[in-house]
Amino acid sequence: QVQLVESGGGSVQAGGSLRLSCAASGYTGRNYWMGWFRQAPGKEREGVAAISPGGGTTYYADSVKGRFTISQDNAKNTLYLRMSSLQPEDTAMYYCAARSFYGGEWYSGNLYPYWGQGTQVTVSS
């Protein structure tokens, strides 16, 4: 059974940085597509970034391009999201997700069967 546990969220001021981590167990990370999603109160869940099993391909939402970086350490089975130049609109619960197949839109959360519990990111102005 795949298990995902996020950490690293917190409260920061606008312009600050955070690094989220997602520790995975129950699978070999090399075979899974991984993604970060977020959901703000009253808003729909949105895809933030995704990475291919080997890390050679990454995807980003337009709203975070140039500010966020997704990466993974397969030896540690850990996914990361480095967030910089954070803005109040980045405030949300952040989730990591995993899927073992390729296809469809990377930002479609319905394609990911495995999810973590989430970590809260709050950015104040």
Encode pLDDT of 30-55 as tens digits: 688 999 999 999 999 999 999 998 88
Provide the 3-class DSSP secondary structure of residue 87. coil
Q: Residues 31, 24: contact at Cβ < 8 Å?
A: no
Please tell me the predicted confidence (pLDDT) of residue 53: 87
Per-chain mean pLDDT for the chain: 94
**pLDDT tens digits along 69-103:** 999 998 899 999 999 999 999 999 999 999 988 88
Q: Does the pLDDT of residue 111 top 90, yes or no?
A: yes
Rounded Cα distance between 25 and 8, Å, is 18
Rounded Cα distance between 40 and 57, Å, is 27
Q: Residues 47, 61: contact at Cβ < 8 Å?
A: yes
Please tell me the predicted confidence (pLDDT) of residue 30: 60
Extract the tokens encoding 57. 């391909």
